[in-house]
Structure 1
Amino acid sequence: MRRAIIAASLGIVAVLAPTSVGAQDLPGYSAPFGDTLPTRIFPLFAMMRQSPDWAVALRRDRDLQKLAAERAARVGASGCAPSPKCLADAWTWTDADIATVEARLRVLARNAALSRALVADQMRASGRFGRHAALRDTDLLAAAWRNAAAAINRVIAVYAQGVAPRYPAIDATIFDVAAPEFAALLDVHGVATAALGGSDDLFFDPSLRYATGLLQLNERTNAGEYRPLLDGPNAAAAQAVARTDWEKTPYSALLVFGHGAEDAQSRTGPLTHVRLRIAADRFARGVAPFVIVSGGNVHPNRTPFNEAAEMKRLLVTQHGVPADRILIEPHARHTTTNLRNVARLMLAAGLPADREALIVSDHRTIQYITGPQLAQRNLDEMGVQPGRIAPGPDRFTARFTPSPLAFHVEAMDPLDP
């Protein structure tokens, strides 16, 4: 009863809804493309396709035409050796390829109208390239292209050639790349990808299809699931956000990060239950009007259970938190991206940017979250600090203020960019 009374007393007033209903965009920006696996990982390519006059300019550029033809000629050699490495090598971007594209993009961006359409109206406005925001337009475009090309190469290296990712226990290829069967699969994938090209292809499309296909073959499409994020399981809570009187509670939301299970039978790890108990208590006390739960399909490797979805289920069924007061962030794979992804969700959903949220966890994890090690990991793995962290009012909490820099996309982490 206490929880029901508290939840009902949180109060609502009419405010403007988020700018991009259903999408996960920086307020003030509305993406002109769908929220899909390739656009989530490689937004630069989607922006090049959609920005006025860019697709035409890229198709007409003779240097890019020549490069595309040269790259197409490299693929299709089924009898190459050593296989399968050589099959994948044919799709990677060489240093010379990357330099050629960068030079042509710099030339095209000298056109003021083209630069404004892509760099100012899309890249800067979206926040997806926030780490490079201090660069001038041509340099920002060049840096974004180099990042995207390196990320394509990284997907190929990990999921076609068996190179270990940063977290091999949960992110590695699912195949034995030394097995003859895998060489045959990679050959089939390459031939099919080359055949799927169309007259409207831009210079990057074949490699984008190849990399996306590798993620699909490896069943590593996590970044494209639960999209668009403010629809589906978040729709009711997103609507409630738009009606909330934020003056009635000291914090905007309670943030709870998952703790993955270590066995295939468990839906969530044991520490999750501790964290949820603490969060449910704080919610019942009226500390914040919403709970945001964060965590993807992480532990054990290739688990079918999503941490955020399971946490929401437990909050509703075991702790009596109303479903429309819970937002799920179902993609984060580490504490770093827990922070970044909830910051994105808070800002995109319309939670007040100048109001602190409260991270709720066990006391050991709170010590880690507020310490220097995580802050350094944020920079090393994501390139940005996604918000400001400060000690909370007790040892189970930390205060968090989201930053727009959280919208920067780290394409080198294709499972959670």
Structure 2
Amino acid sequence: MKTSGIIVLLFLLSHYGWTQTGPDRSYQPIKGASYTQSKNVYLLSLIEALPEVRRIIESDTVLSKVSSSKISELAATLEDCGRDGACYPRPMPFTPEEMETIAGRLEKLAQNHPELLDLVAGHLVPSGMYQQQASSDPVEYLANAWRLDASTINHIIGVYAMGKAPNYPNIDSLGMDLGKYSYKANIQGLNELTYAQYQKSELFFEPSLGYAMDALAMARMERAGDFEPMTKHENEAAFRQAKRTKWEVYEYPLILIPGAGTDNYLDSISSGGVLRCKLAALEFEKGRAPFIMVSGGYVHPYKVQKNEAVEMKRYLRKLGVPESAIIIEPHARHTTTNMRNAARIMFRYGFPMDRPSVTVTTPAQSHFIENMLERCMRELGYHTYTNGKRISNTILEFNPSIMSLQIDRDEPLDP
């Protein structure tokens, strides 16, 4: 950084009062082009949505060359790839060199434009979505957030356009045979669509981001946006009830039921789901907690059409649990994210985070959760919770962590 840049940056930091703080409960994430997109790449969604920021990025000649280059390469595939299906998506991910060139340019722009520092201090920090990218230097924070979003785009294109294996192929794979004509026809169509939509785009990331989002849609895997905004739909009654709940009256704020997917396409709820709901309903009737959260998405079997959380909620209603006491978490695809997403909702809905809640589930899964912290670290890079006391074979305390707000770059169905 040149001396003049340092002086400008120091002025901006002092003038705009940058301080490194943590997630803010009062912060309301911006939806952006779609919930699926904003959950996966929040920084880029903010750039699209905030006019003053978008103007800065669009007018930069260095960055505009990135989008024009991507469009030129995309156009070339339509002329050159022919029947080679694997050829079409190759130019769309960001190369390591492109990622670093863009990171450097964003840092340079942030030194001279306070709007980009405001983006960091007013959105990235309070959202909690980039805690692992955090830096005491907001310029570096911005660049780190870009690197995460770029990695997310590359992962989506890799899996849902190029057919690479996702983390869990049995439930999250592309589902197309790369050797069949249908794949070539579809991927060529995706390139045509992207070119038609973004050939005149002035935002450097839009061709690749649009390509990634449409690849997810083509694969019917845009699940991250399901049921949103939940506070105005499935969770509205419970969200309103939480605002007036006297938490001190209850032993625990929440009973969490982790997901239990079916093993066929006929059952709406699995046998494990039935047992877990019954166990939790008993604890709710005892007054152990004012809310039950049911967690699980469209997971098992592959592309199942029943959502675990929704079906468990329906079953709890049959057991007499009131609508206002049930919160659905309909996105989790693993036990790790059952726990992570519960913490996210608790934070956003105003639940106490400084005292334990409980999981209520079958003994095998309860003990699995008790020993799952290493898996959380391996798959997510942090602990989504810490264990509390074991109450019984089916009831275990957990302490939710606000690190759970962090975006996961390689799970686009539930980032």
TM-score by length of 2: 0.90
Distance change (3 Å), C-alpha of 1:187 and 1:112:
closer
User: How far is 1:183 from its partner?
Assistant: 0.8
Q: Is the CA contact (8 Å cut-off) linking 2:313 and 2:326 kept in structure 1? A: yes
Report the Cα distance in structure 2 between the residues aligned to 1:237 and 1:172, rounded to whole angstroms. Answer: 34
On the 8 A contact 1:336/1:377 being kept in 2, the answer is: yes
Superimposed CA distance per residue, residues 294-317 of structure 1 (whole angstroms, 9 cap, x where no aligned partner): 000000010000000000000111
What is aligned with 2:62? 63
Q: Which residue of 1 aligns with 2:398?
A: 400
Residue equivalent to 1:309 = 310
1:355 alignment partner, SS class: coil
Describe the SS at the equivalent of 2:89: helix
Aligned match of 2:142: 141
Instruction: Report what 1:19 is aligned to.
Output: none
Give the RMSD, CA atoms, in angstroms.
1.8
Matched with 1:366 is 366
Tell me the secondary structure at the aligned position of residue 233 of structure 1: coil
2:379 corresponds to which residue? 381
In 2, the alpha carbon distance for the partners of 1:230 and 1:379 equals 30
Hey, what's the Cα distance between the residues in 1 that align with 2:179 and 2:408? 29
Kindly state the Cα deviation for residue 115 of structure 1 after the two structures are TM-superposed. 3.8
Give yes or no for contact 1:131–1:408 (8 Å, CA) kept in 2: yes
* Alignment correspondent of 1:154: 155
Partner Cα separation in structure 1 for residue 314 and residue 402 of structure 2: 29
- Look up the match of 2:233: 232
Q: Is the deviation greater in 92-101 or in 161-170?
A: 92-101
SS at match of 1:327: strand
Shift in Å at residue 64 of structure 1? Answer: 0.9
Residue identity in the other structure for 1:98: M
> Among 391, 404, 414, which residue is 2:389 paired with?
391
Distance across 1 between alignment mates of 2:281 and 2:134: 39
Q: Does the aligned pair in 2 maintain the 1:249–1:287 contact within 8 Å?
A: yes
| Pair 1:155–1:57, CA change in 2 (3 A) | same
The CA deviation string for residues 339-364 of structure 1, in whole angstroms up to 9 with x for no partner, is 11011111111112223211111111
The Cα of 1:82 is off from its aligned counterpart by 7.4
TM-score (norm 1): 0.89
After TM superposition, list the pairs within 5 Å mapping 1:191-270 onto structure 2.
191-197=192-198, 201-270=202-271
1:33-74 deviations in Å (ceiling 9; x for gaps): 446111111111012234463212211211112222111110
Letter in 1 for 2:365: T
The runs of at least 4 aligned residues of structure 1 exceeding 6 Å deviation read: none
**Residue 282 of structure 1: CA displacement?**
0.4
Report the AA paired with residue 394 of structure 1.
Answer: S
Once the two structures are TM-superposed, the CA of residue 200 in structure 1 deviates from its matched residue by: 5.9
> For residue 172 of structure 1, what is the amino acid of its counterpart?
S
Secondary structure of 2:256's aligned partner: strand
Q: Which amino acid aligns with 2:66?
A: L
User: 163-172 vs 257-266, which deviates more?
Assistant: 257-266
Deviation, structure 1 residue 192: 1.4
Alignment-derived partner of residue 37 in structure 1: 36
Shift of 1:237: 0.9
Q: Any stretches of 5+ residues in structure 2 without a counterpart?
A: 1-22
Distance between the aligned counterparts of 2:298 and 2:377, measured in 1?
23
2:209 alignment partner AA: L
Query: Partners in 2 of 1:133 and 1:203 — Cα distance?
Result: 23
Q: Please give the alpha-carbon distance, in whole angstroms, between the structure 2 residues aligned to 1:307 and 1:212.
A: 24
Equivalent AA in structure 2 for residue 126 of structure 1 = S
- Give the conservation status (yes or no) of the 8 Å contact 2:71–2:199: no
1:22 alignment counterpart: none
Find the residue that maps to 2:293 and give its secondary structure. strand
Could you tell me how far 1:195 is from its partner in structure 2?
A: 1.0
The residue number in structure 1 matching 2:92 is 91
User: Separation in 2 of the partners of 1:400 and 1:350?
Assistant: 17
Structure 2 Cα separation of the partners of residues 392 and 268 of structure 1: 27
8 Å contact 1:108–1:114 — kept in the other structure? no
CA distance in structure 2 between the partners assigned to 1:170 and 1:345 by the alignment: 24
1:42-191 matched pairs, under 5 angstroms = 42-51=41-50, 53-76=52-75, 77-78=77-78, 79-80=80-81, 83-111=84-112, 113-134=114-135, 136-191=137-192
Q: Distance in 1 between the 2:113 and 2:315 partners? A: 53
Quick check: 1:160–1:177 contact (8 Å CA) kept in 2? no
The offset of 1:119, in angstroms, is: 1.2
**Aligned partners of 1:283, 1:185: CA distance in 2, in Å?**
49
Equivalent residue number for residue 414 of structure 1 = 412
SS in 2 for 1:260: coil
Cα deviation, residue 244, structure 1: 1.1
* Contact 1:340–1:386 (Cα < 8 Å) also in 2: yes
Q: 1:345: which partner in 2? A: 345
Question: Which consecutive unaligned segments of at least 5 residues does structure 1 have?
Answer: 1-24
Residue by residue over 1:87-114, the C-alpha shift from the partner in whole angstroms, topping out at 9 and shown as x without a partner, is 0002111122112111101111223613
The structural deviation recorded for 1:222 is 0.8
The amino acid that maps onto 1:48 is: I
Cα distance change of structure 1 residues 266 and 201 upon mapping to structure 2, 3 Å threshold: farther
